[in-house]
Amino acid sequence: MTISSSLNAGVAGLAANASRLSTISDNIANSNTYGYKRAETGFHSMVISNTGGTYSAGGVRVTSQRLIDQPGSLLTTTNSTDLAVRGRGFLPVTTESSIGLGSDYPFRLATTGSFRTDSQGYLRTETGTVLMGWPAAADGTVPTFPRDTADGLEPIQINVNQFAGEPTTRMNLGVNLPATETDAGADGTPLELSIEYFDNLGTSQSVMVTYTPTVPATGSSNEWTMVLRDSASNGAVIGEYVLTFDDSRASGGTLDSVTTVSGGTYDGTTGSFTVNVAGGPIDISIGGLNEGTGITQLSDSFAPTQITKDGSPVGNMISVDVDTNGLVQATFDIGITRTVYQIPLVDLPNPNGLIAMDNQTYRPSNESGSFFLWDASDGPTGDIVGYALEESATDVAGELTQLIQTQRAYSSNAKVIQTVDEMLQETTNIKR
């Protein structure tokens, strides 16, 4: 009985060390695989109840697990959509084969990936892993999505031929009006200024501003009538204001009062009013009362001093980047950047409980626990690093050391079996 248990223990030892050899060989083979998580084999003794002063060997059993929570070091690359997670979070990904089959995408997790656009614009790796995220609205804002389910996620598709423009919503009119034009005897010629703006389709339009001085019979009126017309509305008047300027020693040349004839009401605190062009409202700033900014009346020259506006014409997409907050941002050749997707980071209570799949991807399981989707750089998940890949977590020197130990242990167990065989042979020879 005791000899037989020794034989069984030796056989169990061979099987256990063979299993450990499998994990070591897998780790070494994937020492250059980006995002690879090393596997580890643990030995556990088996104890058989011993009575009567004899001892029976129970042998050994083996368990293996993949240490998914152990990160590799980050390697810098030249591709903006090479992504790595710096922290305990995971990137949401899916399979290439699920694209086009509906909205039920298999939910997979990864810690890194070299994502590039394919022929359809999807960000995918060479092995067919497709990056997922929450789509942004047309204005670049990301709607609110549920955080405990993957239902709101969809494969990220970048239209490299995409065009974009920004409509104008704000203007700043810095203009100097000649004070001499409001003196008695002036000719009262209106002064005109055309300011370009961009409508909702990126088309160039203009607000035409006419400044007409009030010429008094005697003295100086220091008063102008400002009329604004919209080219997109066939020159229709969108605002009319009477501007009166201060001529005192302390505040000479600054706005003293603004009377609204039509259009949005002038706010003396902010120095602005709102007019409606064909595409919607535009906030126009002419400066506050007695501030000396915006519109002034000084000297005898008419000159735009500071004309600024937002908005842009239509431009072509030239690049795509992912920032540390997981925002996928498209940059256009007109200088604007627009958010098109947001990539959340997935957190689970037990990352080592994930089920390992091909191509360094993982699937949630009961052992991993329920997942939650966090904003990158917020919460416990860490952030996303672009232009980077996570290297393999394998330590080749350590694996080779374990390989030597495993080889010696395997040989020792084989020696036990050989010894038991010789002892059984001696027992058989008693009969002779």
Domain boundary among 310, 328, 358: 310
84 and 132 housed in the same domain: yes
Long-range contacts formed by 367-372: CB under 8 A, 24+ apart = 370/148, 371/148, 371/346, 371/347, 372/147, 372/148, 372/346, 372/347, 372/348
Higher pLDDT, 123 or 119: 123
368 and 403 housed in the same domain: no
Long-range contacts formed by 393-401: CB under 8 A, 24+ apart = 393/36, 393/37, 393/38, 393/67, 393/70, 393/71, 393/72, 394/27, 394/28, 394/30, 394/31, 394/36, 394/38, 395/38, 396/28, 396/31, 399/24, 399/27, 399/28, 399/31, 399/38, 400/28
The pTM is what?
0.71
178 secondary structure, DSSP code: -
197 and 306 housed in the same domain: yes
pLDDT per residue as tens digits for the range 178-235: 999 999 999 999 999 999 999 988 889 999 999 999 999 999 999 999 999 999 999 9
231 and 177 housed in the same domain: yes
Domain-embedded: residue 331? no
Domain-embedded: residue 39? yes
Domain-embedded: residue 349? yes
Domain-embedded: residue 247? yes
- Most confidently predicted of 176-180, 311-315, 421-425: 176-180
Domain-embedded: residue 37? yes
Confidence band for 52, pLDDT divided at 50, 70 and 90 = low
146 and 176 housed in the same domain: no
Confidence band for 1, pLDDT divided at 50, 70 and 90 = low
Whole-number mean pLDDT of the chain?
Answer: 90
Least confident of 68-77, 160-169, 210-219, 238-247: 160-169
For 125, the domain range is 76-159+343-390
26 and 38 housed in the same domain: yes
Report the share of the chain in percent with pLDDT over 90: 70
291 and 373 housed in the same domain: no
113 and 220 housed in the same domain: no
144 and 174 housed in the same domain: no
CATH number, domain with residue 206: 2.60.98
The predicted structure's pLDDT at residue 57: 79
The predicted structure's pLDDT at residue 101: 74
Total number of domains constituting the chain: 3
The predicted structure's pLDDT at residue 51: 66
pLDDT per residue as tens digits for the range 139-185: 788 999 999 999 899 999 987 656 667 889 999 999 999 999 999 99
Mean pLDDT of 256-283: 94
Question: In a 3-state reduction of DSSP, which class is residue 175?
Answer: strand
Higher pLDDT, 201 or 67: 67
264 and 235 housed in the same domain: yes
Confidence band for 317, pLDDT divided at 50, 70 and 90 = confident
188 and 281 housed in the same domain: yes
Domain-embedded: residue 87? yes
Least confident of 40-54, 249-263, 309-323: 40-54
Mean pLDDT of 80-93: 96
91 and 50 housed in the same domain: no
Domain-embedded: residue 348? yes
Mean pLDDT of 121-145: 92
Domain-embedded: residue 330? no
